[in-house]
Amino acid sequence: MKITSAEFVKSAFDRSHWITDGRPEIAFLGRSNVGKSSLLNSLLNRKGLARTSNTPGRTQSINFFLVNDRFYFADLPGYGYAKVSKTMRADWGRMAEQYLSERQELALSIQLVDSRHKPTELDRQLHEWLSYGNKPSIIVATKADKLSNNQLVKNLEEISRILSGPSVIAYSATSGKGRDAVWSAIEAEINKSSKLG
Ligand SMILES: Nc1nc2c(ncn2[C@@H]2O[C@H](COP(=O)(O)OP(=O)(O)OP(=O)(O)O)[C@@H](O)[C@H]2O)c(=O)[nH]1
Ligand SMILES: [Mg+2]
């Protein structure tokens, strides 16, 4: 997809701040530090558009970015960061569950897992929510540049076995590996939702 414009629109701390103009939305979900913001920046070819950090667990809002004036990217807060309080963890669950079950505009959920590690318990729980929701989702395995090819192939098999999901797309925000595959998945869903409404 040719990116003609990409801009940060707003941070939503609760439902009343969600965008209501009806454009389709692509959500990025995954644990803290897995590379959600980096994936988003890499897809849009905009280095600092979504803030990346070495201090995980800080973003507690859903950040909306308008792309080509046609659809939104929604960068969701990360989960599973050990040092956040129990209350914050419970808040994440409520927020994500509400978002996934109620967000009509959601055209595609992109679940990120770290290509170097086995999916965690929370990764599995999120994957279950996504499967129950009956809405399109894909799995992207991040930081693929940190593994040898052999190890990457092995890990991708393991990830898709554990999440018993669709195929897993390996991604590297540093090299752009996987970019075309992720864009095709996004475009397919955006086109469908444009036809529907
Ligand atoms: N080598 C490499 N590093 C990556 C890649 N993706 C992300 N990183 C690094 O991983 C760290 C976390 O990336 P973020 O994109 O901020 O992760 P996030 O999921 O948005 O984190 P939170 O917003 O805290 O939930 C940063 O230091 C990134 O530079 C990748 O594909 N390759
Ligand atoms: Mg982030």
State pLDDT tens for residues 3-40.
999 999 999 988 999 999 999 999 999 999 999 999 99
- For the chain, the average pLDDT equals 90
Query: Is 142's C-beta closer than 6 angstroms to any atom of ligand 1?
Result: yes
Question: How remote is the CA of residue 196 from the centroid of ligand 2, in Å?
Answer: 31
Q: State pTM to two decimals.
A: 0.94
Percent of the chain with pLDDT over 70: 93
Q: Is the pLDDT of residue 84 over 80?
A: no
Q: What value does the mean pLDDT take over residues 128-134?
A: 86
Q: What value does the mean pLDDT take over residues 114-139?
A: 92
User: What sign for the dihedral angle of Cα 179, 181, 186, 187?
Assistant: positive
Q: Which ligand is nearest to the CA of 58?
A: 1
Domains detected in the chain: 6-196 (3.40.50.300)
Query: Is 31's C-beta closer than 6 angstroms to any atom of ligand 1?
Result: no
Q: Is the pLDDT of residue 142 over 80?
A: yes
Of residues 81 and 10, more confidence is placed in 10
User: Residue 47: phi, psi to the nearest 5?
Assistant: -55, -60
Contact 158, 113 (CB under 8 A): no
For residue 54, give the ligand 1 atom closest to its CA.
Answer: 27
**Which pLDDT does position 24 carry in this prediction?**
97
Q: Give the chain's radius of gyration (CA, Å).
A: 16
User: What sign for the dihedral angle of Cα 141, 111, 192, 62?
Assistant: negative
Of residues 14 and 159, more confidence is placed in 159
Q: Is the pLDDT of residue 101 over 70?
A: yes
Q: Is the pLDDT of residue 97 over 90?
A: no
Question: How remote is the CA of residue 75 from the centroid of ligand 2, in Å?
Answer: 7
**Which pLDDT does position 49 carry in this prediction?**
92
Hunting for tokens 């956040």 — which residue is that?
Answer: 84
Q: Is the pLDDT of residue 164 over 90?
A: no
**Which pLDDT does position 58 carry in this prediction?**
57
Query: Is 172's C-beta closer than 6 angstroms to any atom of ligand 1?
Result: yes
Q: Is the pLDDT of residue 154 over 90?
A: yes
User: What sign for the dihedral angle of Cα 24, 167, 158, 101?
Assistant: positive
Of residues 1 and 138, more confidence is placed in 138
Question: How remote is the CA of residue 21 from the centroid of ligand 1, in Å?
Answer: 30
Query: Is 174's C-beta closer than 6 angstroms to any atom of ligand 1?
Result: yes
Distance CA 148, CA 7 (A): 35
Of 17-31, 53-67, 87-101, where does mean pLDDT reach its minimum? 53-67
Q: What value does the mean pLDDT take over residues 69-82?
A: 89
Q: Is the pLDDT of residue 178 over 90?
A: yes
